[in-house]
Structure 1
Amino acid sequence: MSLRLPPLNAVRAFDAAARHSSFLLAAQELHVTAGAVSQQVKALEAYLGLRLFERRARQVLLTAEGREFHQAISKPLRSIAQAAARLRPEQQRVRISTVPTFATRWLTPRMADFTRQYPHIEVNVNADSALVDFERDNCDIALRYAAQPTPGLNSMPFYTERVVPLCSPHYLRQLGCESHAFAWEKAVLIHDVTNWSWNDWLRTYHLLERNQSQSGLYFSHAMLAIAAAISHQGVTLTSADYVQTELQNGSLLMLDYSPWETGYRFYITWPKRPLSPAAQTCLQWLQQLAEGRGSESI
């Protein structure tokens, strides 16, 4: 035997109006007009064959029958909402952890493609340099620099990391040199202390003796080093993919050196436990990005 239920939208409108004693406030909660709430309540009253409210100038008051009906339906409505809230995060939300510069400069601009394809999935991105603990941090997917995959976790290579030296055109003019004949002996080096060493790069290109300065600028994140380079403070070493906008608008330029492999890769990492449907969808999207670029750099 099927259940005979009143119109549920009408019940929801009635519940909001009963709690607020106002059609206007109920309308604001439900993102509809006060007239729409009034029509829903009238439809419910017609279904039940009784009056639920006494209409006043600035408010509505429950009748005795209205109070009895509201007491009967309010708890089940809360239970339905709570049950949906408990299920929805696992099915419709994905939590990604990655380092701040990658999140800001690479991942975030590309998330528009994911949300366009999967508008029903909520994406939470946590930008943190600390390694994620999948159980403690309630995380689904991590994107991290590493020389090798992390033991005990699922991993796949995302990108091989290659970096290039960059500075602003103004800084180049300030040094009085060209990008193909850079004045390393006068340059201020901008360091990202969480990643590679400038000395390794200088040594590779036999430039270590030309820049013996122990000074320079040191930042905790690559995005801060990039900002310093944009503001003409020196030359930084980072992925060209992080600064595509600045290279296109001319606020940064690459010096004439081939991209240098740091020996690290970005890995997509996820726990051994089964992923939620939303996390699985996001993982497949990231894998498609990786496969589409093959062995390109970041």
Structure 2
Amino acid sequence: MNRRSLPLNALRAFESVGRHRSFSLAANELGVTHGAVSRQISMLESLLGLRLFRRSQPIELTDEGIELLAEVAPAFDRLSTAVDSLMCPGDHAALLINAPPTFTMKWLIPRLSVFQRRHNKAEIRLTTSTTSISSLKLSDFDVVIRRLPPSSSDLNAQTFLSGKLVAICAPERVERCPVLCAEDITKHRLIEAKSNVSAWTQWFEQAGCEKPASGDFLRFDEMFFAVQAALEGLGIALAPLSLVADDLAAGNLVIAFDGPDVSAVDYAYVMTLGGRRRQLINEFCTWLSEEGKACDQFARTVI
């Protein structure tokens, strides 16, 4: 199909529906009606002679839809970046980072001064989110950081930091009530976060002992609050070693019990299409890899 014949409005509607997995959300984003989006998708499917979506709840992309979205979404991101770079030339030194809240507060911000000293003219703009990468408008960011499984290779994600989980608490808690075996951990209030809700279940399964009733847990929306609760002596939390290594080294936290390894997902970064900022993005990601390697080495010395 030649460029003059490209159905750009229909492709824009398709990309938005594919990203949100919702006709209604796509309509809100595009500022049109649900019916208008539906007609654009139907027209595109007729033009291609293919089904792009299964109209289920929630809707699903067909194999052909997945293939098309993988090409269309980056193309729109490139267009958006190209236009933004011309409209906002003064932003060429701004670096737009999106990362999970706990990672940002416990790991990234404490180390960011190192990168800023190397690039003192770079403006770092940090936003936090746990939204899946597939649901983000990637043209809004230069680098997105998430805990991603190895199966995310289609995103060209680069792992840079271990997500190994450890059971941590304030030192006075295990001084009062030592944890000498896996069963002893049930004598303490356990802490968990919504973002890691299955971790304790895996821990008890691998330890071969019964998980306490749900009422015995202290729950928080974010991992940061779970770690803070552990620091305050409220219980024992499972947290990524890389995010609490500094507190362990300082003696603010201790390993409550060197129990089973819980399958954890490592931290990875995804570079988006940064246009004029490409060199700065590459240097930031190289710095992430260097800091991640150093942190993993350091973390192994504190357990």
TM-score by length of 2: 0.61
Distance of aligned partners of 1:113 and 1:225 in 2 relative to their CA distance in 1, 3 Å threshold: same
Unaligned runs of 5+ in 2: 1-84
The corresponding residue for 2:257 is: 256
The corresponding residue for 2:248 is: 247
Answering whether residue 201 of structure 2 is matched by residue 199 of structure 1, we say: yes
Unaligned runs of 5+ in 1: 1-82
Map 1:259-298 onto structure 2 (within 5 A): 260-271=261-272, 274=275, 276=277, 277-290=279-292
Which residue identity does 1:225 align to in structure 2?
A
The corresponding residue for 2:142 is: 140
CA contact (8 A) 2:193 2:223 kept: yes
1:239 Cα deviation from its structure 2 partner:
1.9
Distance of aligned partners of 1:230 and 1:296 in 2 relative to their CA distance in 1, 3 Å threshold: closer
Answering whether residue 170 of structure 2 is matched by residue 168 of structure 1, we say: yes
Please give the alpha-carbon distance, in whole angstroms, between the structure 1 residues aligned to 2:192 and 2:295. Answer: 28
Which residue identity does 2:241 align to in structure 1?
A
The corresponding residue for 2:97 is: 96
The corresponding residue for 1:188 is: 189
**Identity between Structure 1 and Structure 2 (%):** 19
Distance of aligned partners of 1:181 and 1:268 in 2 relative to their CA distance in 1, 3 Å threshold: closer
Question: Which whole-Å deviations, capped at 9, do the CAs of 1:172-217 have from their partners, x for residues lacking one?
Answer: 244x3246677223221101111242010121122x32x4332211
More strand by share: 1
Question: Which whole-Å deviations, capped at 9, do the CAs of 1:19-53 have from their partners, x for residues lacking one?
Answer: xxxxxxxxxxxxxxxxxxxxxxxxxxxxxxxxxxx
Q: State the SS of the aligned residue for 2:162.
A: strand
RMSD: 3.0
CA contact (8 A) 2:139 2:273 kept: no
The corresponding residue for 1:214 is: 214
Larger Rg: 1
Which residue identity does 1:159 align to in structure 2?
L
CA contact (8 A) 2:179 2:185 kept: no
The corresponding residue for 2:63 is: none
More helix by share: 2
1:161 Cα deviation from its structure 2 partner:
1.4
The corresponding residue for 2:119 is: 118
Distance of aligned partners of 1:297 and 1:259 in 2 relative to their CA distance in 1, 3 Å threshold: farther
The corresponding residue for 2:17 is: none
Distance of aligned partners of 1:287 and 1:271 in 2 relative to their CA distance in 1, 3 Å threshold: same
Answering whether residue 255 of structure 2 is matched by residue 232 of structure 1, we say: no
Moved over 4 A (4+): 178-182, 272-275, 290-298
Which residue of the other structure, out of 112, 130, 153, is the alignment partner of 2:155? 153
1:157 Cα deviation from its structure 2 partner:
1.4
1:87 Cα deviation from its structure 2 partner:
1.3
Answering whether residue 109 of structure 2 is matched by residue 108 of structure 1, we say: yes
Which residue identity does 1:286 align to in structure 2?
L
